[in-house]
């Protein structure tokens, strides 16, 4: 890939010199130097906790560096807050969007821009400007739709539009494709290339080496707070980047023997769910998982996978009406009410899709979170009391075995990087050796070294004769891990495939609600419709 037109310009768009930042004993950034040429897409990669988000938060004025200098367009600048960053032409699209959910698209776009260049614009002019940007950059969204009614892909469009509305020249995107469907990710990349080609500078943080190879001009690698190297993308390859990131060779595929399925562990019959608004989310699910097998559920987010996992895990949405039958090792599970702890006691481990909301209590420490849901287990009791020393000792072992960084059991969950938070949840659930492991988006936001590790643990659990239900929007992950693939669309299972017989096109059609023999155009339309749904 060649660099965009502005790449020859000698003054870099961004230059960081000797940036350092510590959080207590953790040195998140150590003397970072980085130069990003104008009109290029620059990838930043690194393991979880390497310091990428910290560095970008410094650039966006969220944190002040302890030392070092920032130059934008060759001029030194003190970025004391995000308003200063915005005035310097920097826009940021966060991993967890910062939109006001019950405001409309237009309201979100103008919110906070009052102090910016659009100070005196009327709402009418703002609307016209939004339409112009949306047309020019193919970022169509309904200006009057409340954010909460948009799919995540469309919410991300709003974030990008918001930055463009503020005349951002430099756009930072933190893990932008983690929540997108493959089609949405392709669309995003087309937009980023367009922005680059008109001279804007883009920084892309991602764990996906495929994306780095596909879209970036240059890539910088961080490791343990330091900048290891910056290279031209055309002059490197995924294996080399993986090694630079992790400091050792990484297996970029899953190594597993054929499954040897045993007796049924999970049997789901005619499971239906109507949510509190009367919308039917599950329309009669039949699904079996046997001991020693991994069944992967593929599908575009929002087609009922979340509800299925939540119901099986024992915490259905409030007000949901459920019917059908679920058996675990032959025993019928009560569908009424919500009792995640009872499900865990019955032998169901659960790594929820959204670790920050359902998997962890963010203000609690790592050691408390490592036992969360199991704290009433006999080994954690001392007479009538909880044995905190035992819980803590157990957590220390998990942190060590799962290489959670920093290995500090007393740190609050919120102060770990996303990938390390995920390791805490996975360690807690996998190490209980459950009969059935429910695992949703296990490697979202997780670095490749840790992905390799988490995938290995899942396969080991299977090889120990356990059943695994995997839900992931990453088709690669589904194909690599599953012994059987079920595709969900609109609350139904559209079909099942064996991974060695399934092609991405075949699965893509089923994910769009169309039998693979069906009309391709209808498939695409259906796919677009699901993209717009929640
Ligand atoms: N507010 C904070 N308080 C304490 N420690 C923090 C804080 N923010 C970040 N850290 C620590 O700083 C280090 C760098 O974290 P950072 O989020 O920058 O990593 P990252 O490379 O973006 O990781 P990921 O890929 O998982 O998002 C980590 O060890 C993290 O635990």
Assigned token pair, 247? 């400091």
Q: Residue 358: pLDDT band by 50, 70, 90 thresholds?
A: confident
For the chain, the domains span 5-246, 264-358+432-532
Residue 114's pLDDT is what?
56
Tell me which of 187 and 19 has the higher pLDDT.
19
Q: How far is the CA of 21 from the centre of ligand 1 (A)?
A: 11
Q: Using one digit for the tens of pLDDT, what is the confidence trace for 378-414?
A: 889 888 888 999 999 999 999 999 999 899 999 999 9
Region 113-125 average pLDDT: 60
The residue whose C-alpha atom lies closest to atom 16 belonging to ligand 1 is 51
Pairing of strands 436-440, 280-290: unpaired
Q: Which residues contact 488 (CB under 8 A, 6 or more apart)?
A: 297, 298, 299, 303, 304, 305, 308, 494
For the whole prediction, is pTM greater than 0.90? no
The answer on pLDDT for 524 being more than 80 is no
Residue 125's pLDDT is what?
85
The region of weakest confidence among 26-30, 244-248, 495-499 is: 244-248
The answer on pLDDT for 4 being more than 70 is no
In this structure, what DSSP letter does residue 116 have?
T
Pairing of strands 14-23, 26-36: antiparallel
Residue 5's pLDDT is what?
44
Region 311-334 average pLDDT: 93
Q: What is the DSSP string of 466-519?
A: -EEEEE-S-HHHHHHH-SEEEEEETTEEEEEE-TTT--HHHHHHHHTT--TTS-
Same fold, 5-246 and 264-358+432-532: yes
Region 237-263 average pLDDT: 87
Residue 170's pLDDT is what?
97
Pick the atom of ligand 1 nearest to 46's CA. 21
Residue 233's pLDDT is what?
97
The answer on pLDDT for 137 being more than 90 is no
The chain-wide mean pLDDT, for the chain, equals: 88
The residue whose C-alpha atom lies closest to atom 26 belonging to ligand 1 is 48
Question: Is 303 buried (19+), middle (13-18) or exposed (0-12) by CB count in 10 A?
Answer: buried
Pick the atom of ligand 1 nearest to 416's CA. 31
Region 206-216 average pLDDT: 92
Rg (CA), the chain: 24
Residue 354's pLDDT is what?
82
Residue 1's pLDDT is what?
40
Pairing of strands 280-290, 293-298: unpaired
Best residue among 49, 208, 411, 416 to mutate for probing ligand 1's pocket (most ligand atoms within 8 Å of CB) is 49
The residue whose C-alpha atom lies closest to atom 6 belonging to ligand 1 is 415
Region 455-461 average pLDDT: 94
Region 407-423 average pLDDT: 91
Q: How far is the CA of 30 from the centre of ligand 1 (A)?
A: 13
Q: Are 201 and 13 in contact (CB under 8 A)?
A: yes
Q: How far is the CA of 432 from the centre of ligand 1 (A)?
A: 28
Pick the atom of ligand 1 nearest to 50's CA. 21
The answer on pLDDT for 19 being more than 90 is yes
Residue 42's pLDDT is what?
98
Q: Find the residues whose C-beta lies inside 6 A of ligand 1.
A: 23, 26, 28, 46, 48-54, 405-406, 415-419, 447
Region 40-53 average pLDDT: 93
Residue 527's pLDDT is what?
42
The answer on pLDDT for 113 being more than 70 is no
Q: How far is the CA of 84 from the centre of ligand 1 (A)?
A: 23
The residue whose C-alpha atom lies closest to atom 7 belonging to ligand 1 is 415
The residue whose C-alpha atom lies closest to atom 19 belonging to ligand 1 is 49
Residue 121's pLDDT is what?
55
Cα–Cα distances (Å) from 7 to 40, 189, 197, 202, in that order, read: 6, 18, 10, 12
Pick the atom of ligand 1 nearest to 447's CA. 25
- Cα separation of 225 and 20, whole Å? 9
Q: How far is the CA of 178 from the centre of ligand 1 (A)?
A: 18
- Cα separation of 370 and 347, whole Å? 17
The residue whose C-alpha atom lies closest to atom 18 belonging to ligand 1 is 51
Superfamily of domain 264-358+432-532: P-loop containing nucleotide triphosphate hydrolases (3.40.50.300)
Pick the atom of ligand 1 nearest to 56's CA. 18
- Cα separation of 282 and 310, whole Å? 12
- Cα separation of 524 and 440, whole Å? 26
Give the number of other Cβ atoms within 10 Å of residue 111's Cβ: 13
Pick the atom of ligand 1 nearest to 54's CA. 18
Q: Which residues contact 72 (CB under 8 A, 6 or more apart)?
A: 13, 14, 88, 89, 90, 170
Adjacency order of strands within the sheet including 280-290: 280-290, 264-274, 321-328, 331-332
Region 362-372 average pLDDT: 93
**Residue percentage of the chain with pLDDT more than 90:** 60
Q: Residue 516: pLDDT band by 50, 70, 90 thresholds?
A: low
CA 139, chain centre distance (Å): 21
3.30.1180.10, 3.60.150.10, 3.90.660.10, 3.40.50.300: CATH of 5-246: 3.40.50.300
- Cα separation of 90 and 426, whole Å? 36
**Residue percentage of the chain with pLDDT more than 70:** 92
CA 306, chain centre distance (Å): 14
Q: How far is the CA of 204 from the centre of ligand 1 (A)?
A: 17
Q: How far is the CA of 27 from the centre of ligand 1 (A)?
A: 9
Q: How far is the CA of 149 from the centre of ligand 1 (A)?
A: 31
Q: Residue 361: pLDDT band by 50, 70, 90 thresholds?
A: very high
Region 131-152 average pLDDT: 88
Residue 466's pLDDT is what?
97
Rounded to 10 degrees, what is the CA torsion of 97, 99, 101, 106?
Answer: -140
Region 488-513 average pLDDT: 87
Length of the chain: 534
The answer on pLDDT for 429 being more than 80 is yes
Q: Using one digit for the tens of pLDDT, what is the confidence trace for 159-183?
A: 999 999 998 999 999 988 877 777 7
In this structure, what DSSP letter does residue 146 have?
B
Q: Are 333 and 346 in contact (CB under 8 A)?
A: yes
Q: Which residues contact 89 (CB under 8 A, 6 or more apart)?
A: 72, 167, 168, 169, 170
The residue whose C-alpha atom lies closest to atom 24 belonging to ligand 1 is 48
Q: How far is the CA of 399 from the centre of ligand 1 (A)?
A: 16
Q: How far is the CA of 416 from the centre of ligand 1 (A)?
A: 6
């Amino acid at each position: 890939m060649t660099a965009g037109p502005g790449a020859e310009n000698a003054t870099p768009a961004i230059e960081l010199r000797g940036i350092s930042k510590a959080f207590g004993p953790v040195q998140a950034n150590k003397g970072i130097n980085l130069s990003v040429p104008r009109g290029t897409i620059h990838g930043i990669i690194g393991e979880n906790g390497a310091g990428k988000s910290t560095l970008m938060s410094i650039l966006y004025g969220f944190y002040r560096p302890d030392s070092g200098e920032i130059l934008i367009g060759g001029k030194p600048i003190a970025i004391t807050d995000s308003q200063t960053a915005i005035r310097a032409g920097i826009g940021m699209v966060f991993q967890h969007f910062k939109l006001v959910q019950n405001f409309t698209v237009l309201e979100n776009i103008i919110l906070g821009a009052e102090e910016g260049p659009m100070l005196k614009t009327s709402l009418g002019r703002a609307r016209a400007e939004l339409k112009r940007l949306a047309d020019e950059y193919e970022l169509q969204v309904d200006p009057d739709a409340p954010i909460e009614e948009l799919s995540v892909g469309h919410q991300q469009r709003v974030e990008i539009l918001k930055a463009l509305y503020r005349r951002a020249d430099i756009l930072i995107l933190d893990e932008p494709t983690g929540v997108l469907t493959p089609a949405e990710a392709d669309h995003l990349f087309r937009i980023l290339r367009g922005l680059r080609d008109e001279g804007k500078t883009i920084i892309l943080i991602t764990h996906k080496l495929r994306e780095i190879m596909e879209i970036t001009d240059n890539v910088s690698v961080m490791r343990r707070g330091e900048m290891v190297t910056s290279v031209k993308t055309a002059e490197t390859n995924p294996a080399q980047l993986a090694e630079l990131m992790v400091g050792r060779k990484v297996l970029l595929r899953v190594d597993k023997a054929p499954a040897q399925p045993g007796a049924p562990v999970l049997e789901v019959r005619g499971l239906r769910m109507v949510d509190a608004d009367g919308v039917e989310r599950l329309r009669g699910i039949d699904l079996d998982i046997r001991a020693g097998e991994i069944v992967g559920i593929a599908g575009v987010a929002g087609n009922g996978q979340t509800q299925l996992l939540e119901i099986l895990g024992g915490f259905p949405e409030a007000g949901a009406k459920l019917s059908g039958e679920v058996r675990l090792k032959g025993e019928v599970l009560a569908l009424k009410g919500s009792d995640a702890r009872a499900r865990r006691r019955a032998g169901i481990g659960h790594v929820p899709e959204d670790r920050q909301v359902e998997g962890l209590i963010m203000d609690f420490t790592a050691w408390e979170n490592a036992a969360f849901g199991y704290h009433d287990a006999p080994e954690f009791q001392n007479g009538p009391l909880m044995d905190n020393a035992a819980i803590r000792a157990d957590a220390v072992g998990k942190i060590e075995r799962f290489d959670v960084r920093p290995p500090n059991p007393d740190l609050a969950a919120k102060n770990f990087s996303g990938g390390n938070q995920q390791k805490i949840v996975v360690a807690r659930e996998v190490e209980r050796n459950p009969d059935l492991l429910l695992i949703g988006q296990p490697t979202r936001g997780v670095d490749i070294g840790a992905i390799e590790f988490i995938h290995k643990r899942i396969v080991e659990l299977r090889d120990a004769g356990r059943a695994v239900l995997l839900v992931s929007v990453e088709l690669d992950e589904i194909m690599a891990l599953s012994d059987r693939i079920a595709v969900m669309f609109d609350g139904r299972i559209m079909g099942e495939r064996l991974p060695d017989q399934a092609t991405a096109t075949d699965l893509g059609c089923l994910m769009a609600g169309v039998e693979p023999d069906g009309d391709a155009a209808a498939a695409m339309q259906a796919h677009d419709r699901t993209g717009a749904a929640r």
